[in-house]
Amino acid sequence: MVLADDAVLLREGVRSLLEDEGHTVLAAVGDGEQLLEEVRRHRPRIAIVDVRMPPTHTDEGLVAALAIKRELPEVGVLMLSQHVAREYATELLGAETTGIGYLLKDRITEIDGFLDAVRRVAEGGTVIDPAVVRALLRSPEQRRAVERLSPRELEVLEVMAEGLSNRGIAERLHLSVSTVEKAGSAIFDKLDLSGQEQGSRRVLAVLRFLESRHGLEGAPGAADASGRRPR
């Protein structure tokens, strides 16, 4: 994998964490241009990227991430951000359908969850920070869509958007798998997604909330079941 963050202590801390867990960090850099160079050179399973990097500390990481997904869509991209930035999340999620993630940097300290997010994105899945999901669901433009969901369906949808399987959702919410499946079917029906292909309709359900404002299309793909370790 390749890391990109201009904060040296954070970058080296994440490198150390990943290497301690047996992952190979092929490069660790501090700006978007270096990130693109290293990704093109190594073609890693995943790039972990800070949203804001030099020279302007605005959206250099996002720009680089979008370039990676255009050039090398097989490379997973996990974006890290200090704050919830809904526009960054929607642009990234709308750009590509597989191997994408958006987490707040605070999640790094939740080591098991962070490592699981890295694994899922590297395997082609989609991970969205729960705080970002809540921000997306609070969008005024999507209020009517949200109101079509029951409290239980909305709860299931939030966990779906984190990329968990039906069994994972059931364990998280202390529900039966059949209850989660029924809630999922109801969500897809209410958001007019029943005719979509199977796979990651879960995350498409979140993106559907954003279509009226951002014109997003496409469903994030399901995680690769190969179980390969990211590098």
Domain co-membership, 143 together with 123: no
Domain co-membership, 61 together with 165: no
Domain co-membership, 88 together with 155: no
Q: Is residue 74 part of a domain?
A: yes
Domain co-membership, 173 together with 150: yes
Domain co-membership, 8 together with 103: yes
Q: Is residue 222 part of a domain?
A: no
Whole-number pLDDT of residue 118: 94
Domain co-membership, 143 together with 103: no
How many independent structural domains does the chain possess? 2
Domain co-membership, 104 together with 167: no
By the 8 A CB rule, do 106 and 228 touch? no
Task: For residue 117, give the CATH number of its domain.
Answer: 3.40.50.2300
Domain region containing 79: 2-128
According to the 3-state scheme, what is the secondary structure of 131-197?
A: HHHHHHHCCHHHHHHHHCCCHHHHHHHHHHCCCCCHHHHHHHHCCCHHHHHHHHHHHHHHCCCCCCC
Domain co-membership, 124 together with 19: yes
Whole-number pLDDT of residue 93: 65
Q: Is residue 149 part of a domain?
A: yes
Task: For residue 177, give the CATH number of its domain.
Answer: 1.10.10.10
Domain co-membership, 74 together with 10: yes
Per-residue pLDDT of the chain (231 residues; tens, 9 = 90+): 999 999 999 999 999 999 999 999 999 999 999 999 999 999 999 999 998 888 888 888 888 988 998 899 899 999 998 876 666 666 666 655 578 888 889 889 999 989 999 998 998 888 878 777 666 655 555 566 667 889 899 888 877 766 677 888 899 999 999 999 999 888 888 877 765 544 456 666 766 654 433 333 333 333 332 333 355
Whole-number pLDDT of residue 78: 94
Contacts by 82-89 with C-beta closer than 8 Å and gap 24+? Answer: 82/51, 82/52, 84/129, 84/131, 84/132, 84/135, 85/51, 86/132, 86/135, 86/136, 86/139, 88/51, 88/59, 88/62, 89/128, 89/132, 89/135, 89/136
Domain co-membership, 150 together with 116: no
Residue with tokens 């899922």: 120
By the 8 A CB rule, do 54 and 60 touch? yes
